[in-house]
Amino acid sequence: MKRVLSVFGDEFFPKFGKGMSNLKREKAQDNVLDFLKATGPELVYIMPTAGTCSYVAVLCGALDIPYIMVSPHPNFYDTVKINDKVCIRKAMDSAKSFVLLDDAVPATREKSKALYEDSVDFLCKVSDAIVFLYSEETTQDYKAFMENTCAKAPDKHLWELVYDKPKSLEF
């Protein structure tokens, strides 16, 4: 069975930097690495948003797992913070491919939101399984996103990993 994953994540993946816990970051990183090793994906689709997804692409590259970057539109990544931009730029260099769903910068916030939703739909269609990686302290908005995304893909395998829980590898 070919295992193609689409990965979504929240914005709380522990960052490097002053005042940040290296132990917390290592635990989160180890949990995501263990998940990727256990599932053994042949291909991963990632729309790197701030936080978790910007880092997952780097981990896929470290494990030699081919991945495809997906962007709803040009300049989609412009609003992320510098740490995430560094990860995204590094990930772009190692990506197997890059999918741009619309080649025009959206003129309105509504159009940008619609293109983002189209990208989520695309990711749900092209994969065998949908993966949600998030913190114990994730937001209600992210939980609602997970619920809405699951409703769009009832025939897909759905996996959740709470990356900052001790030994949360259950799927």
pLDDT at 17: 63
Instruction: Name residue 2's amino acid.
Output: K
Q: pLDDT tens digits, residue range 130-170?
A: 999 999 999 999 999 999 999 988 889 999 999 988 764 45
> Does 168 fall in a domain?
no
**Residue 24's CATH number:** 3.40.50.450
**Residue 167 is assigned to a structural domain of this protein:** no
Tell me the percentage of the chain whose pLDDT exceeds 90. 60
Domain count, the chain: 1
Evaluate whether residue 123 is within a structural domain.
yes
The residues, ordered by sequence, that sit 6+ positions from 60 with a Cβ below 8 Å of its Cβ are 36, 44, 46, 66, 67, 91
Give the mean model confidence (pLDDT) for residues 40-53.
91
pLDDT value at residue 171: 47
**Residue 111 belongs to some domain of the structure:** yes
What's the whole-model pTM score?
0.89
Q: In this predicted structure, what is the pLDDT of residue 2?
A: 62
Tell me, yes or no, whether 146 lies in a domain: yes
Q: What is the pLDDT of residue 137?
A: 92
pLDDT score for 35: 94
Task: Summarize the confidence of residues 98-125 as an average pLDDT.
Answer: 94
Residue 68 lies in a domain: yes
Structural domain of 52: 4-162
If you average pLDDT over residues 37-50, what whole number do you get?
92
More confident residue, 18 or 87: 87
Q: What interhelical angle do 52-62 and 22-39 show, nearest 10? A: 60
C-beta contacts of 89-97 below 8 A and 24+ residues apart:
90/57, 90/58, 90/61, 91/46, 91/48, 91/54, 91/57, 91/58, 91/60, 91/61, 91/67, 94/57, 94/61, 94/67, 95/57, 95/67, 95/68, 95/69, 96/43, 96/66, 96/67, 96/68, 97/68, 97/69
Query: Across residues 80-88, what is the average pLDDT?
Result: 82
